[in-house]
Amino acid sequence: MEKEKSLNQYDIKVLLALVKSLQGDKIFFKYLAENGFLELAAWSNCVRGDVEALKWLFNNGHSTLAILSNAIDGEKKAVKWIELTKDEFLINFAAACRGDKRAYLWFRAKELQIFIYMITEIKEVLKVQVKDSIFWYRWKW
């Protein structure tokens, strides 16, 4: 079985498409899904709260991305697992998405602009999710 790729191992153009997909742009989601980056398409949906995408990641050899999504959401077991990897990128990425200033500055210090952009967009997605969870009348029954 092929080793999972970390987010920082993808080409910049693919990462830009991922950010657009995270923003909800279906054209870029489709691009990822149809051009060999199905795991990133699934991860973008997973970050946006799609439980089926989370299951798909776990069932198709992309558990690190699934756990990263859960760590971004602040799930304690996922955060602990990410910390145990000792992978600076993953640890700082998950923490920065949760609003950790020191983790965000780690990306600034390394001039990883694409990930600063991605973190900013993920934080916006999380804000919308929190807002939607507060407005109970938007829930699907």
Dist CA 115 CA 99 (whole Å): 14
Give every CB contact of residue 122 below 8 A, 6+ residues apart in sequence: 22, 47, 72, 97
Contact (CB, 8 A) for 66 and 57: yes
What span, in angstroms and rounded, lies between the C-alpha atoms of 16 and 40? Answer: 11
- Model pLDDT, residue 1: 45
pLDDT, mean over the chain: 91
- Would you state the pLDDT for residue 132? 52
Whether 50 contacts 39, CB under 8 Å? no
CA distance 135 to 130: 9
In this prediction the pTM is: 0.88
Token reading at 69: 């999504």
Query: 139: exposed, middle or buried (C-beta count within 10 Å: 0-12, 13-18, 19+)?
Result: exposed
Mean pLDDT of the 92-114 span: 97
Contact at 8 Å (CB) between 7 and 93?
yes
pLDDT more than 70, % of the chain: 89
